[in-house]
Amino acid sequence: MRRERDEVENEGVSEMITTHVRQFYVGGQWVQPLGHDTRSVINPTTELEIATIAMGTSRDVDAAVTSARDAFATFAATTRDERLWLLDAVMTVYRARSDELADVVSQEMGAPATLSREDQVPVGLGQFRQAFEALQNFEFDSRDGSTAVFYEPAGVCALITPWNWPLLLIASKVAPALAAGCTMVLKPSELAPLSALIIAEVMDEAGVPAGVFNLVNGDGPTVGSALASHPEVDLVSITGSTRAGVSVARNAADTVKRVHQELGGKSADILLPDVDLEQTVAKSVMAIMENSGQSCDARTRILVQRDQLSQAEVIAARVANSVVAGAPAAPGTMIGPVISAAQFDKIQEMITQALAQGAHLVAGGLGRPSGLERGYFVRPTVLSNVTNDMAIAREEVFGPVVVLVAYDDEEDAVRIANDSPYGLSGAVSSSDVDRARALARRIRSGMVHVNGKGLDGRSPFGGYKQSGNGREYGVFGLREFLEVKSVFGYYP
């Protein structure tokens, strides 16, 4: 196992840091960067530096893309069984590193230890498993009369991932790319890059052929732009903000490469008046609080019939006030900090603006939770009297902030839900499942949850409108990394 670790004690917290933080993984080797820029990685719980990473340049991108291009022809020609074996090997090593991955995720993004161990790490492994299962039965060749239809690897892929669910979002791109026979260059978020470096170590130990998987750390304007515009990159897959997705699409346009975007959301959760309000509001609020509200598909607009709004406020306030924010390892911690000082400040500004526009503060509010003097902790907050023209109802907050929006009738609820530049997710709850199903069909989003049903990890994940294009997970994710070829007259 080609790695070493240093332990640094920061006020009783053991920080496990890979020695590869100032290197990139290119061509099957850990290599020195071609530039000299570095960046501190800050633990959002302590506001202290836990590592210093190397930041890539366009020359580092050139080297990584060349490595991926050189490896593509050979890897694209591998058999289904060879790629299944490789995915299985990756999963084996991933499992062996699970404890370390959980520890690092808690450090770099402040996720509670239970969330890291029981959710953050398993969902990453789950995407490798789903890619494995999709590959097992995928029909790469089919016949349409005398025409043969072939699915072939898309080529060299640039994978750009964010910090909020780092292992899930890396795996949801790396796993199907491997299954498809593509080669790749990963640029993880510079805010939470340490778990990605461990994933590179996993790839190395699992025996992924040299050049198939490459990693270059860096920021969006430098490394992200260089990857998106690179003439030797065939496909870009990005998960991030809508702003970042638009930038990638613009940079990719000149070379007419495929761009797959999984972007922001401001999803609506419609509670019809026949629900058990106590149970449904409580479940909806707790779902938003998970991961400190830092999930693109969080249904942060809870829509309640107008005459039930005051009752919903009481329930939502009680639930939000019960949410315990704290350090990852602290007993009882339910949510950690948000990722950075900049994100903390943005959330404070959005709450301030909402109150100025007439929103009513039901729970939480400005500043840190009581007893927390440092760290980027946001008070679990509920705002009511919110109308759909307010910024807090239209813009992604990415924090533990719930807005309650009143509607008059079912038609009004659908109108409010669809009145958004985003279309990633949504939810409908009703004691009448047929009524909920009918309403779900009318929501303009890529995903809708009926009566609290969660994701299954293999159904298509992605959105409408400014939430992006393309789909991830399972066979749908595999297809995104494949080109379709028709060969006419192939059959007699």
List, by residue number, the catalytic residues.
262, 296
Residue 335 CA: distances (Å) to CA of 104, 288, 292: 16, 11, 5
Residue 214 CA: distances (Å) to CA of 129, 352, 455: 21, 43, 30
Q: Collapsing DSSP states into helix, strand and coil, what is residue 196? A: helix
DSSP of 86-109, one letter per residue? HHHHHHHHHHHTHHHHHHHHHHHH
How many whole angstroms separate alpha carbon 183 and alpha carbon 180? 9
Query: HSE-up of 326 (CA within 13 Å, CB side)?
Result: 12
Q: With DSSP H G I counted as helix, E B as strand and the rest as coil, what are the percentages for the chain, rounded to 5?
A: 40, 25, 35
Rg of the chain (C-alpha set): 23
Cβ count within 10 A of residue 391: 12
As a whole number of angstroms, the longest Cα–Cα distance in the chain is 77
Query: 30 and 213 in contact (C-beta within 8 Å)?
Result: no
329: buried, middle or exposed (CB in 10 Å: 19+, 13-18, 0-12)? middle
